Amino acid sequence: MQSIIHQLTQSRRVLLTTHTHPDGDAIGSLLALGLILERMGKTIAMVDDDPIPAIYRFLPEVERILRHAPPDTDFDAAVVLDCGSLERIGAVGTTVAKVPLVINIDHHVTNKAFGAFALVDPNACATAEIVYRLIRKMGAPIDKIVATAIYTGIFTDTGSFRFSNTNLGAFTICQEMVALGVDPYQVAKHVYGTYSLGRIKLLNMALDSIELTANGKMTIMTLSQEMLRETRTQPEDGDGLINYARRIEDVRVAALIQELNSGQADQFHVSLRSDGSVDVARIAQARGGGGHAMAAGFSVTAPLADVKADLLRLAAQL
Ligand code: 5GP
Ligand code: MN
């Protein structure tokens, strides 16, 4: 941590980025560290390849997050947050590749330790927890804006303090963030508040797609581009749907196969969730992906039938 603080202190222009299809931890970590570095007098650019999902647009200063890196800035350092591997940052990777110093800050157990400096703590409940510790170590003050970003990162990545990554830090840091002015009700209201009718219709289709394997130990949910078109929803509207498939009795692994809108056929992202008895990070890693023991994912280019056949083979071994 000390060497990363040293590097950040020395840098004048810092590029910060996170994974595509960003979640609350990705966005919260990006905003918190980016704004702190800016207040320390640095020129910063916060970039994510994908748009910010509607439920996170309430975050103060979230509009500062750009879709593309500014082309005319020579960055001294690039900070990659909440990413197990560099491939997950998408097109901003071409800019990151030109930056002389890459700093990797993450909590995924499958992190590939890329970058000149890596601060990876799989015991942290969220990347926002690591960012919080880094900010405190730097001695930088945390105001309500940064506190809201950190709180939202931890609140969402722990599934509102329900998932297995919920640790003491989740509570102590969030308590401190509330003391600094975060309104838990306001955050919860935005994160869980209202859904478009399309999202509810998509939920209906997703629930309808659930298949249970012969041994009853795996569920497979499928989301197609056609379903998104029909309900006029965005990929972000599929976030969290897999939890319904995971909560079915006796199910050890839930899989969600999502057809990607890449312009090419047969491209899918598979999300995996476990009940705790199976390490899905290993399953995802064996297929070129990664994640945590209880929540992981991978991308695959193959006909849907082959993707399902692979999952069925896995299910039979459970
Ligand atoms: P989700 O299923 O919500 O996309 O992701 C669950 C977890 O697995 C997240 O922590 C995410 O970072 C990780 N994950 C999902 N897809 C991939 C992937 O393609 N590669 C890697 N390395 N991690 C992934
Ligand atoms: Mn995270």
- Judgement on whether residues 187 and 229 belong to the same structural domain of the protein: no
**Residue 83 pLDDT:** 98
- Judgement on whether residues 119 and 216 belong to the same structural domain of the protein: no
Give the distance (Å) from ligand 1 centre to CA of residue 10.
32
Domain finish residue from 128, 158, 192: 192
Q: Which of 75, 65, 72, 68 is nearest to 15 (CA)?
A: 75
Q: What is the DSSP letter of 237?
A: G
* Number of structural domains in the chain: 2
d(CA 273, CA 255): 7
- Judgement on whether residues 71 and 141 belong to the same structural domain of the protein: yes
Q: Where are the alpha helices (DSSP H) in 158-279?
A: 168-179, 184-192, 197-208, 225-231, 242-246
Domain finish residue from 192, 212, 235: 192
- Judgement on whether residues 157 and 44 belong to the same structural domain of the protein: yes
d(CA 38, CA 167): 30
Atom 13, ligand 1: residue with shortest CA distance: 291
- Judgement on whether residues 300 and 164 belong to the same structural domain of the protein: no
Residues 14/43, Cβ–Cβ less than 8 Å: yes
Atom 17, ligand 1: residue with shortest CA distance: 297
Q: With the CA atoms of 283, 288, 290 and 294 taken in that order, what torsion angle do they form, in degrees rounded to the nearest 10?
A: -20
Phi-psi region of 93 (alpha: psi -120 to 50; beta: other; left: phi over 0): alpha
CATH number of residue 233's parent domain:
3.10.310.30
Give the distance (Å) from ligand 2 centre to CA of residue 75.
25
| Closest-lying ligand 1 atom to the alpha carbon of residue 242 | 2
Amino acid of residue 258: Q
**Residue 195 pLDDT:** 87
Provide the domain limits for residue 110: 2-192
Measure CA of the first residue to CA of the last residue in the chain; give whole Å: 40
Question: Does the global pTM surpass 0.85?
Answer: yes
Atom 12, ligand 1: residue with shortest CA distance: 291
Burial of 268 (0-12, 13-18, 19+ CB in 10 A): buried
- Please report which helix (H) or strand (E) contains residue 304, including its range: helix 304-316
**Residue 262 pLDDT:** 83
Give the distance (Å) from ligand 2 centre to CA of residue 166.
12
Average pLDDT per consecutive 10 residues, the chain (318 residues; last block may be shorter): 97 98 97 98 97 96 97 95 96 97 97 97 98 98 98 97 96 98 97 91 97 97 97 94 95 97 92 97 97 96 97 96
Does the CB atom of residue 53 touch ligand 1 within 6 A?
no
E-strand ranges in 115-187 read: 117-120
- Judgement on whether residues 204 and 301 belong to the same structural domain of the protein: yes
Does the CB atom of residue 46 touch ligand 1 within 6 A?
no
Residue 109: strand, helix, or coil: coil
Domain finish residue from 172, 192, 212: 192
DSSP-derived pairing of the beta strands 267-274 and 295-301:
antiparallel
- Judgement on whether residues 232 and 155 belong to the same structural domain of the protein: no
Q: Which long-range contacts (CB under 8 A, 24 or more apart) does 188-197 make?
A: 188/155, 188/160, 190/55, 190/56, 190/58, 191/24, 191/55, 191/56, 191/152, 191/155, 191/156, 193/55, 195/237, 196/233, 196/237
Does the CB atom of residue 235 touch ligand 1 within 6 A?
no
Does the CB atom of residue 290 touch ligand 1 within 6 A?
yes
Pocket test for ligand 1, best of 23, 108, 236 (most atoms within 8 A of CB): 108
Does the CB atom of residue 271 touch ligand 1 within 6 A?
yes
- Judgement on whether residues 141 and 11 belong to the same structural domain of the protein: yes
- Judgement on whether residues 145 and 166 belong to the same structural domain of the protein: yes
Residues 53/79, Cβ–Cβ less than 8 Å: no
Give the distance (Å) from ligand 1 centre to CA of residue 298.
6
Q: Which of 227, 220, 223, 222 is nearest to 245 (CA)?
A: 220
Alpha carbon 304 to chain centroid distance? Answer: 25
Ligand nearest to the CA of 290: 1
- Judgement on whether residues 56 and 84 belong to the same structural domain of the protein: yes
- Judgement on whether residues 173 and 204 belong to the same structural domain of the protein: no
CATH number of residue 134's parent domain:
3.90.1640.10
- Judgement on whether residues 143 and 202 belong to the same structural domain of the protein: no
**Residue 194 pLDDT:** 82
